[in-house]
Chains A and B, each alone.
With several copies, the nearest count.
Chain A
Amino acid sequence: MEYVYAALILHETDEEINEDNLTGVLEAAGVDVEESRVKALVAALEDVDVEEAIETAAAAPAGGAGGA
């Protein structure tokens, strides 16, 4: 899931979700990055409106996220 988290960090900071940026974030976290997964993720997200996907999630009974 770390690849997806990395993509979302980039999304939050308005950086492009591309192979270089993803690899950079993941390597900074000490991940032994697999190029193929990065490629596949970039391809998979190509046609996805990340903002919309997040809003759908937020709108739904938010992930069991009850109080602390």
Chain B
Amino acid sequence: MSAEAERKTETIPEWKREEIDDLAAFLGRYESVGVVDITGIPSRQLQDMRRELHGTAALRVSRNTLMERALAEVDEGLEALVEFVEGQVGLIGTNDNPFGLYQQLEESKTPAPISAGEVAPNDVVIPEGDTGVDPGPFVGELQTVGANARIEGGSIKVVEDSTVLSAGEEVSADLANVLGELGIEPKEVGLDLRGVVSEGVSFSPEELDIDVEEYIADLEAASSAARNLSINAEYPTARTVPSMLAKAAGEAKSVGLSAAVESPDLADDLVSKADAQMRSLAAAIDDEEALPEELRG
């Protein structure tokens, strides 16, 4: 008997049973359900976030074991989310589209300072520029943590963007000091979606992070491709036939002008062309005596 099955058969206290049922009912109310990381968010801030989500999504926090149970009990593929229940997490549900939820959560994230001993969630960069700090020992501190800094024009300057810590590395006390002094807040605090199941389909955060601009670029590329194919293969469509007509007309004009075809439709252009050629030839003549007054430079 597997450990999981074993757990299911054990007798559960009444309050746990009720909590699981409650969680399951919560999960059942939404088309899209996700697991969010709430690590390091103070409870008051969590309350604010709940309020901001009101109307679009709901957040429910409980013991991890109970959340796992509820996810496994509700059908609809939610068991795929069990693997994300680890650390400080909550369940989030929405009936709006999950892509919008992801975007909303990302936008609501706020920067926060990082303390010594914490693990950097992403690369920590000290940007190029004037620190505004007077010359002093701070330049040494900057150099110690790996920033390319020097004294210039009466203050300490960082000469180039300097990556002082890579994602996943631990922040040292020195670095925490330097970042604090510079006011750099490398953390993004907020609800961090780990995974979503929407109507039975699982999405990773990467899949939820859709770039609308990219889709527009794809639409444009696809419609260009179709235009090109239509015109190059000479298969007319309502969208491309005007271009094909213009192209054909342009070809006829080009042939007509280069052959100097005496057509009423080309007469204007032929006269213009002759005039332009005459002027061009006149411009190539150095001796003004050879030209009538109108054509003298």
Chain A residues near B (Cβ < 8 Å)? 1, 3-5, 7-8, 35-37, 39-41, 43-50, 52-68
Contacts and interface: CB of A to CB of B under 8 A. Distances in A.
B215 interface: yes
Contacts of B289: 36-37, 40, 44
Q: Is the interface of B mostly helix, strand, loop or mixed?
A: helix
A58 B231 contact: yes
A25 B270 CA distance: 18
A36 B235 CA distance: 11
Given A53-B254, A58-B275, A4 B218 contact: yes
Interface stretch (B118-126, B165-173, B276-284): B276-284
A67 B229 contact: no
A53 to B, nearest CB: 4
Contacts of A59: 231, 243-244, 246-247, 250
B254 to A, nearest CB: 3
Given A48-B267, A57-B279, A62-B227, 12 more contacts: A4-B291, A39-B201, A40-B207, A41-B262, A44-B287, A44-B289, A45-B241, A56-B258, A63-B250, A63-B254, A64-B272, A65-B257
B212 A4 contact: no
B225 A63 contact: no
Contacts of A50: 219, 229, 245, 255, 271, 281
B272 A53 contact: yes
28 contacts: A1-B230, A4-B245, A7-B271, A8-B223, A36-B207, A41-B263, A41-B285, A44-B235, A44-B236, A44-B237, A44-B240, A45-B271, A48-B258, A48-B267, A53-B216, A53-B272, A54-B225, A54-B239, A57-B220, A57-B253, A58-B240, A58-B243, A63-B257, A63-B275, A65-B271, A66-B268, A67-B268, A68-B265
A37 B244 CA distance: 14
B261 interface: yes
Could you say which interface size class chain B belongs to? Answer: 35 or more
Interface of B: 97-100, 198, 201-203, 207, 210-212, 215-287, 289-292, 294-295, 297
Given A4-B218, A54-B219, A56-B272, A44 B261 contact: yes
A55 B228 contact: yes
B229 A57 contact: no
A39 B198 contact: yes
A45 B207 contact: no
